[in-house]
Structure 1
Amino acid sequence: MTIKTFQLEYDAINSRNTFTNGDTINGRIVLETDKEMKIQSLEFLAKGKASVCWTEYYGDNQSHVYWSDEKYYSIQQHILRESRQDGSEIIGKGKHLFPFSFKIPEERMPSSFYSTIGRVVHKLKAELKQSMKLKKKTKVHFKFVSRADMDVPRLMVPQHGCKDKRLAFGSGTVSFDVCIDKTGYKPGEAITVTTEINNQSSRLVKPKLILYERRSFFAQGRRKLETRQVLKAKADGVDPNSGKRTVAKVIPIPTELSPSIMNCSIIKLEYRLQVYLDIKFSSNPGIKAPIIILPEVLDMRHLPPSYSDFGFEAFGNPAPPTRGTTPQATEPPPSYETSAMYPAFPSVDYKTAM
């Protein structure tokens, strides 16, 4: 045995051990040998890539594999190159440290993400070549949080929607008006939902809320969809024929939620909050709103300016919004109904559809 240790180490720059666009990663390749050895080259590589892959089955014996990838950067640095006439370099016995420095590109690319179907990987890699046939590799992933994920206007603007419902058999009418305090949230923050209900019916009305996660994967003209219910909550009920009542509910966002991904053409990670009224013997009227989960590194005091041409219909659109003029303060919040681009979400963990 000649090589005892061959590994990569890098230095964290914050307590979360995350990196974003423009950050520099400093580290070292650790090579420890138990005797003198010859090497032809030692290379450092940094790569960012998204990939998806799944299999669909048709009948008993037919299947098709769908896959796609999207590359963001591939950087190569020659740490050691052949310098002797025989094309090799002599490395003495013991532990050797080879430093490297790599600046993450400023280009628009998604945050690190992992699932059984698709992933976004940012990694560092080292390759040691001793001869034409003898090579050794090592790699390590680092957690990248995209600054481009923050490039979404109106994150702080409240969301608003309303709906009326006439009940069957002359039971009266119910209307409700919902306001959500904003659109963008960090994991661990709380969503404040205020619902004004006008119950002019003979039935008890119970406001309920569900936060859904939706994962979409795209390859070769096909889409695979996974949905799951993140959390559900209910607010105080409103008695029959009680007129107008205001009900408020605060919903904490789980800290383990991944940031929304809206800047990748083959993977989309989106969230939606559904607010509906549970009414016995009636279909339940509901309102849906997009919720954007922000990276933890985002400072909410330094959000980008609003865009006049951005509405909820742009949520989930792979094309980035174009810059426009800043809307006036009197401009009303966007309606929920402009954002209803989702199919009905089932209440099961990761329901899969094609």
Structure 2
Amino acid sequence: LDDNSESPGFVIGPGFHQFPFQFQLPEQLPSSFEYYSETGRIKARVSFSVKAEVENSRRTASHSRERPILIINFYDLNVHRHLIDRVCLKKEIALACLCISKGRIVCELSLSKTGYVPGETMDISVHLFNSSTSCVKSTHITFQQRVFLSAGLHRKVASALIFSISGQRVKPGASGYYHDVIHIPPLPPSGMPHCEIIDIEYLVQVQIEAAGAFRQTQMLELSLPVIIGNVPLRDSFIDNKQVVPCYAHFDFNTGDIVEHNAGDLESASGPVRPVYTYYKTERKALLGSAHDGSGGGGGGGRADCLADMSPERRRLLKQRSCDVPQSAHSTTASTAAAAAAAAAAAAAAIGRFAVSHNDLGRNGTITAI
């Protein structure tokens, strides 16, 4: 800018100058998000940045600087009070060979509740009753994230494994019982509000392989959806008052949980990896899986938490993708006025570079933390 400029402006003399400014972000912004392939490449990203540019009146010299910011939508689990209820799913499969019944296999999957925030623990129980004359070859229990990606008419779902436990054989007439406690790492909330091409969901899945006729395998599959938010249910952490909310990200490849502070963002000049609310609590030890040995099925199951795996095991459990039909599931996230107060302590870790959505239904504004 100089004296001869016809456009409104002023002369900037030598020295250091600071120009404070503020502006209101649009109300309908999706949260910052990144999805990585198994090779470490970014397959999907939602990112935001602020760019400042200065130039002279003749446009012969210019200088610009860009800083990343993070957008975080609040998902208050208290809006859906049914998420605190215990759920149980029961399913059975009938085995037969040449129209001759071989009995049934019954499986029950139970969760203490279906709404969690990162830092909580999920209590999973699986009961397996083998009243058939066939052997249950294996039982796999997994907790996974599913990311739905849309591009025109083409849709794809990519799955990332967070936790798995494998059970041993269950002989005819025997039963199996598997019980584990899963620590929820820093994860993005369910759904992706205001984004039509990305959706996120979580589910606990049980897959049972039974020996069928003519050496074929019959499958029994159960799955329960789980909602991940960032404002906990009011009855959460009731036994642990020393809850310290912060911001962190979870590495699916290594199982590491990395905390972030304001200094990490202030020194960043390029894209910043999205971070999510994480309620730091003392992790509960994994409970050993039980197995009824009345049928000679052997010992218990094997639990795999990514943070405790060897590099070789992690590679086996990396993300995988497959095509799905055009109609993908959708989970709608909710906002609430209580979210701003519940996450205030965590927001201080990010400082002025984090942006949060207040209750849009109440005041229609988005404010910077």
The two structures have a TM-score, normalised by structure 1, of 0.54
1:129 aligns with 55
> How far apart are 1:203 and its partner, in Å?
4.6
1:185-334 matches, cutoff 5 A = 185-205=116-136, 206-235=138-167, 238-242=170-174, 246-253=177-184, 255-263=185-193, 264-281=195-212, 282-295=217-230, 298-301=231-234
RMSD: 3.4
Partners of 1:262 and 1:150 lie apart in 2 by 15
Amino acid in the other structure paired with 1:93: P
2:34 aligns with 114
Q: Which runs of 5+ in 2 are unaligned?
A: 36-41, 237-315, 325-369
1:98 aligns with 19
Partners of 2:90 and 2:62 lie apart in 1 by 64
> How far apart are 1:146 and its partner, in Å?
0.3
The answer to whether the Cα contact below 8 Å between 1:274 and 1:287 also exists between their aligned partners in 2 is: yes
Change (3 A) 1:150 1:108: farther
> How far apart are 1:201 and its partner, in Å?
2.7
The answer to whether the Cα contact below 8 Å between 1:159 and 1:182 also exists between their aligned partners in 2 is: yes
Partners of 1:178 and 1:86 lie apart in 2 by 69
Partners of 1:177 and 1:126 lie apart in 2 by 57
**Match status 1:174 vs 2:105:** yes
1:143 aligns with 70
> Residue 89 of structure 1: SS of its match in structure 2?
coil
**Match status 1:353 vs 2:323:** yes
> Residue 105 of structure 2: SS of its match in structure 1?
strand
Higher strand proportion (structure 1 or 2):
1
Deviations 1:185-228 (A, max 9, x none): 22343321122333223455454212232222223333243333
Q: What is the number of residues matched between the two proteins?
A: 228
Partners of 2:168 and 2:182 lie apart in 1 by 14
> How far apart are 1:278 and its partner, in Å?
3.5
> How far apart are 1:87 and its partner, in Å?
4.5
Change (3 A) 1:85 1:157: same
The answer to whether the Cα contact below 8 Å between 1:149 and 1:262 also exists between their aligned partners in 2 is: no
Change (3 A) 1:226 1:213: same
Change (3 A) 1:196 1:128: same
2:282 aligns with none
Partners of 2:168 and 2:4 lie apart in 1 by 77
Partners of 1:302 and 1:93 lie apart in 2 by 59
1:59 aligns with none
Change (3 A) 1:350 1:277: closer
Amino acid in the other structure paired with 1:146: N
Q: Which runs of 5+ in 1 are unaligned?
A: 1-38, 41-81, 304-345
> How far apart are 1:180 and its partner, in Å?
1.4
The two structures have a TM-score, normalised by structure 2, of 0.52
Structure whose CA Rg is larger: 1
The answer to whether the Cα contact below 8 Å between 1:207 and 1:275 also exists between their aligned partners in 2 is: yes
